[in-house]
Amino acid sequence: MKLLYRCCAGLDIHRDTVSVCVRKRVRGQAEAATEEEVFGTFTQELERLRSWLKKHKVRQVAMESTGVYWIPIWNVLERGFALTLVNPATVRALQGQKTDRIDARRIAEYLQYGLLRGSFIPPKPIRELRELTRMRVHIQQDRNRVINRIARLLETVNLKLASIASNIVGTSGMAMLRLLASGVCAAEKLADCAQASMRMKIPALILALDGRPDEHFRWMLQQLLDKLDRLDEERARVDARLDSLAVPYGDLLQRLGTIPGVDRTTALVLLAEFGEDMSQFPTGAHLASWAGLCPGNAESAGKRFSGRTRKGDRYVRRILVQSAWAASRTHDCFLAALFFRTSQRRGLKKAAVAVAHRIAIIAWHILAEQGVEYQERGGDYFDRRNPERTARKLSRRLEAIGYKVTLVAPPKSARQPKPPVAKAPRATVDPALCAKCARWGMPRCICLLKRKPKSMPAPQ
């Protein structure tokens, strides 16, 4: 196997120690020379590791992504070395051959022969954005838990506010909750706090707010409201920090916001998780695969098994699926048409993942190409792509309920041009393959092996 690097290093990382192995190719020797050492993880020890690697003229360094323990080492070695962060599953040791030194030696050997594929690590400004957006997600999750606890607490004292108000912590709901915490129990006074469209529900609110609150309930409610206020303040501070760091990316955020279902918060998450440099992802399909939004690939002996998607980046996957549900409710939208078209065959949840996959590809084009914005195709895109098929489908539906349908083709001048459809180039297919094996991408036809050979004619 051809060597890719003459000198490189592999690091096996733990909380308190780092095992390092340097592999060097020596002329005239078949085996590579190795140098091994163990360092601590304090900053002074990591600086000594940096000097030791420079002494051995190392430029390429590979390490496992062990929890968060790789981050201090990455911070010290980020400048001056070409770092590769690898998934531990790709460099797993054989059974019975697992020590720190062996792990470092194996990582260095894999790196020297070019067998490692590094993880995507964005630059520091994008990493800071990513930490803030993920902190905001956790704050929002804590806030949702507090709201659910408030709803359960109301149920324990016969207050059915959640049955009338869709958002119990909205403007009207918060006014009622604060009155309840202050000691007001009259249902009429509580219902009179309703605002805007909620005032139409005052008779129902009077019935729903006729409960049995006591002193313990009011104390518990006040604690939860105080906690909710603190979480709102934390979220506001994080939003202010995000706005200050996102100033250089205003144009990207504005163009990402043109996608249906993508608001500013979603655009910030996409920028923080994907980064602004799309050189890490050759195509939009690679980005969707990295995010865990493409079908799985499980095949053996010509049979395709489960197509379940893998986990991927849970933060970007969550926000994209939420955006897909929002886009499905957009009027006259291509993504909404894609959602309902897919849901007929695959169900609502898989349709949401399919739309999230398409949003990820659109985001890749916006981030990779300067000045590109989302171009709406319209909710009737699939109908206009093949009008004859659409007409036949609709006529069959009308005939199924008893109508007699006669189709008359419109004149050529009135026909709308078909939208352009990008077709992938056809791959060259071995003529010896049958249609089934060619569709599955088999290197040789396995169907011919099952066929009985024809008997040869007798010689004349």
Phi, psi of 179 (to 5 degrees): -65, -40
Residue finishing a domain among 59, 85, 112: 112
Asked whether residue 410 carries a pLDDT value surpassing 50, the answer given is yes
Q: Are 73 and 88 in contact (CB under 8 A)?
A: no
pLDDT tens track for 56-109: 999 999 998 888 999 999 999 988 899 999 988 777 766 667 888 888 988 998
Q: Answer whether residue 303 shows pLDDT above 50.
A: yes
Which tokens go with 338?
């894609």
**Highest mean pLDDT: which range of 141-150, 198-207, 367-376:** 141-150
**Structural domain span for residue 288:** 250-368
The pLDDT value recorded for residue 100 is 86
301 in a structural domain: yes
Which of the two residues, 433 and 23, has the higher pLDDT score? Answer: 23
402 and 319 in a single domain? The answer is no
Selection from 339, 340, 373 nearest residue 356 by Cα: 339
At residue 460, the pLDDT reads 46
Give me the residues paired with residue 63 across strands.
11, 85
**Whether the predicted pLDDT of 116 surpasses 50:** yes
Instruction: Check residues 448 and 223 and name the one with the higher pLDDT.
Output: 223
pTM: 0.80
Q: State the pLDDT at residue 448.
A: 54
- pLDDT grade, residue 188 (50/70/90)? very high
Contact between residue 309 and residue 293 where contact means Cβ atoms under 8 Å apart: yes
SS3 assignment, position 19 = strand
Q: Give the mean model confidence (pLDDT) for residues 154-178.
A: 92
How far, in Å, CA of 241 to CA of 129, rounded? 9
- Residue 62, number of CB atoms within 10 A of its CB: 23
- State the CATH number of the domain containing residue 40: 3.30.420.10
pLDDT-derived band at 446 (thresholds 50, 70, 90) equals low
On whether residue 400 sits in a domain, the answer given is yes
* Residue 117 confidence (pLDDT): 85
The total of other beta-carbon atoms located within 10 Å of residue 105's CB is: 20
**Would you state the structure tokens that stand for residue 117, as one six-digit string?**
């594929």
Same domain, 154 and 224: yes
pLDDT tens readout for residues 244-290: 999 999 999 999 999 999 999 999 999 999 999 898 899 999 999 99
pLDDT given for residue 41 in this prediction: 92
pLDDT of residue 43: 93
Quick one: average pLDDT of 393-410? 87
Arithmetic mean of pLDDT, 152-170: 92
Q: Is 205 in contact with 194 (CB distance < 8 Å)?
A: yes
How many Cβ atoms are within 10 Å of 298's Cβ, its own excluded? 11
Q: Do both 219 and 137 map to the same domain?
A: yes
Instruction: Give the residue with greater pLDDT, 439 vs 20.
Output: 20
Q: How far apart are CA 238 and CA 140, in angstroms?
A: 11
Whether 1 maps to a domain, the answer reads no
Does pLDDT of 412 surpass 60? Answer: yes
Distances (CA, A) of 198 to 268, 425, 427: 33, 57, 61
Average pLDDT across the chain, whole number: 87
Of the chain, the percentage scoring pLDDT greater than 90 comes to 57
Do both 130 and 241 map to the same domain?
yes
In a domain, 457, yes or no: no
Domain-terminating residue out of 83, 112, 141: 112
Do residues 278 and 367 make contact, with C-beta atoms less than 8 angstroms apart?
Answer: yes
Two structure tokens written together for 89 = 């599953």
Residues 372-393: tens digit of each pLDDT: 899 999 888 998 888 888 888 8
Q: Which residues of 319-331 are buried (b: 16+ CB within 10 A; e: fewer)?
A: bbbbbbbbbbebe
- 205 and 277 inside one domain: no
**Alpha helices in 157-304, H assignment, sequence order:** 171-182, 187-191, 202-208, 215-245, 250-256, 264-274, 284-290
- What mean pLDDT is predicted for residues 140-163? 94
On whether both 222 and 292 belong to a single domain, the answer is no
* Span 39-56, average pLDDT: 94
Q: How many domains does the chain have?
A: 4
User: Within a 13 Å sphere around the CA of 241, how many CA atoms are in the beta-carbon half?
Assistant: 15
Q: CA-to-CA distance for 196 and 317, rounded, in angstroms?
A: 36
Please identify, among 306, 338, 368, the residue that sits at the C-terminal boundary of a domain.
368
pLDDT-derived band at 435, boundaries 50, 70, 90? low
Residue 405: name the closest of 392, 418, 415 by CA.
392
- Shared domain for 232 and 270, answered yes or no, is no
Residue 413 in any domain: the answer is no
In a domain, 331, yes or no: yes
> How far, in Å, CA of 78 to CA of 71, rounded?
10
Rounded CA-CA distance 127/69 in Å is 16
Phi, psi of 262 (to 5 degrees): -110, 110
In CATH, what number is assigned to the domain containing residue 222? 1.10.287
* Residue 62 φ then ψ, to 5°: -120, 145
The conformational region for residue 154 under phi > 0 = left, psi -120 to 50 = alpha, else beta, is: alpha
pLDDT, average across residues 150-179:
92
How many residues can be counted in the chain?
Answer: 460
Radius of gyration (C-alpha) of the chain in whole angstroms: 31
Sign of the CA dihedral running 195, 198, 203, 208:
negative
235 and 256 housed in the same domain = no
Q: What is the pLDDT of residues 332-358, one digit of tens each?
A: 999 999 999 999 988 999 999 999 999
- What pLDDT does 433 receive? 66
